Amino acid sequence: MSRIPRIVILGAGYGGIVTAIRLQKELNYNEADVTLVNKHDYHYITTHLHMPAAGTDNPENARVNILKLIDEFKIDFVKSTVVQIRQQEKKVILEEGTLSYDYLVIGLGGEPETFGIPGLKEYALGIRSINSVRFIREHIEYQFAKFKREPNRLDYLTFVVGGAGFTGIEFVGELADRIPELCKEFDVDPSLVKIYNIEAAPTALPGFDPELVEYAMNVLKNKGVTFKIATAIKECTPEGVSLATGEEIKAATVIWTGGIRGNHMLEEAGFETMRGRIKVDETLRAPGHDNVYVLGDCSIVMSPEGRPYPPTAQISMQQADVCAANLVAQIRGTELKSFEYKPKGTVASLGRGEAIGIVGTRKIKGGAAAAMKKIIDLRYLFIIGGIPLVLKKGKF
């Protein structure tokens, strides 16, 4: 290779943006050309989307202009949607144009996993982008306005959240905080509003400490959330949901948070996938492709117990560190690192001033956990944008 190698990063989510930021710091001038491709000209903070979706925070606090995060003299940015990966030709087809690569980083994010439940794809809303959360916020407000015109339509005031995992729990916490404000704004009797959180697994927040799960459910029940745990959604229709128990819930708003699968382009590109994800090797590369790194929701990393780690912002950022180091090593011909996930803890917010979490081996809850959640959010802003970004977006 006489010309300098070209690295193309697909997606500016947690994995992609942190890889780009690390590469711009590590790579010397003329060691490589780096191009970051993203659908929008902003990066969004997925773990914060439950707040603007419920309307408890401005969506602007959940996104950052990409050109504020990368140095355009060091990294090219292309705003376009990826259509196809042609790995044999080492090309990426974009909606506007094509890009050739020597090294590819796939951080395209996931797609909603609906487990084949009929109607979810068509009628349920997903908390997955700035556009989608603005839509959810407006949709919710519109239901209150519509109810005032048709006061017998209680389905306008009924909100079904499918999935009591992390996103589902954090969203119902915010929604329960927003409801009294909306009731006041639209002169609606709060006792008419219903929030259902429905989960097919035998517990909310599967995998989390049971004592903390109980605490979380009590906090949310006191805010007016009705849980239906170990209850599968059988079908979603324009009128609401039918449950496996035979119960029907009429609801004009159904929000599905039940899971994420990988990106459909991976399988189409000929990679071997499991639920749309690529099981990466210890260097984070797709098996058999020594120039393709895969991060975040597109990747599967196995725990020492042989189970896939759940895809989180935390693991994506740790992957990005190793991915960037390995790209530099590969270009310089030095030895690659092995990825090893080091869980630092997890905090789930439950709305204003309430949260639960595990930090190290310590269980925390209530105000202390809410404060910790805020620290984690601010730390992320600091990692990607330093103090200026913390000051600008860190008000939440």
Residues forming the active site: 170
For the record, the structure tokens of 1 come out as 């290779």
Complex with a second copy: residue 187 or 335, whichever CB lies closer: 187
Complex with a second copy: residue 58 or 231, whichever CB lies closer: 58
Interaction between residue 25 and a second copy (CB under 8 A): no
Candidate list 25, 68, 86, 148; residue touching a second copy; CB under 8 A? 148
- Least separation in angstroms between residue 131's CB and a second copy is 4
Interaction between residue 81 and a second copy (CB under 8 A): no
Interaction between residue 144 and a second copy (CB under 8 A): yes
Cα–Cα separations (whole angstroms), residue 336 to 34, 316, 324: 19, 18, 10
Cα–Cα separations (whole angstroms), residue 327 to 19, 177, 271: 10, 45, 20
Burial of residue 288 (CB within 10 Å: 0-12, 13-18, 19+) is exposed
The residues, ordered by sequence, that sit 6+ positions from 157 with a Cβ below 8 Å of its Cβ are 143, 144, 147, 188, 192, 193, 194
- Under 8 Å between Cβ of 369 and 142: no
Candidate list 31, 33, 76, 141; residue touching a second copy; CB under 8 A? 141
Stretch of 109-117, 184-192, 285-293, 385-393 lying at the interface with a second copy (CB under 8 A): 184-192
Stretch of 145-153, 212-220, 265-273, 375-383 lying at the interface with a second copy (CB under 8 A): 145-153
Candidate list 33, 39, 135, 383; residue touching a second copy; CB under 8 A? 135
Complex with a second copy: residue 135 or 309, whichever CB lies closer: 135
For the record, the structure tokens of 88 come out as 């044999």
Helix (H, G, I), strand (E, B) or coil at 36: strand
- Least separation in angstroms between residue 188's CB and a second copy is 11
What is the biggest distance separating any 2 CA atoms in the chain, rounded to whole angstroms? 73
- Least separation in angstroms between residue 59's CB and a second copy is 8
Report the alpha-carbon distance of residue 235 to residue 212 in Å, rounded. 30
User: Which chain residues interact with a second copy by CB under 8 A?
Assistant: 130-132, 134-135, 137-139, 141-142, 144-146, 148-149, 185-187
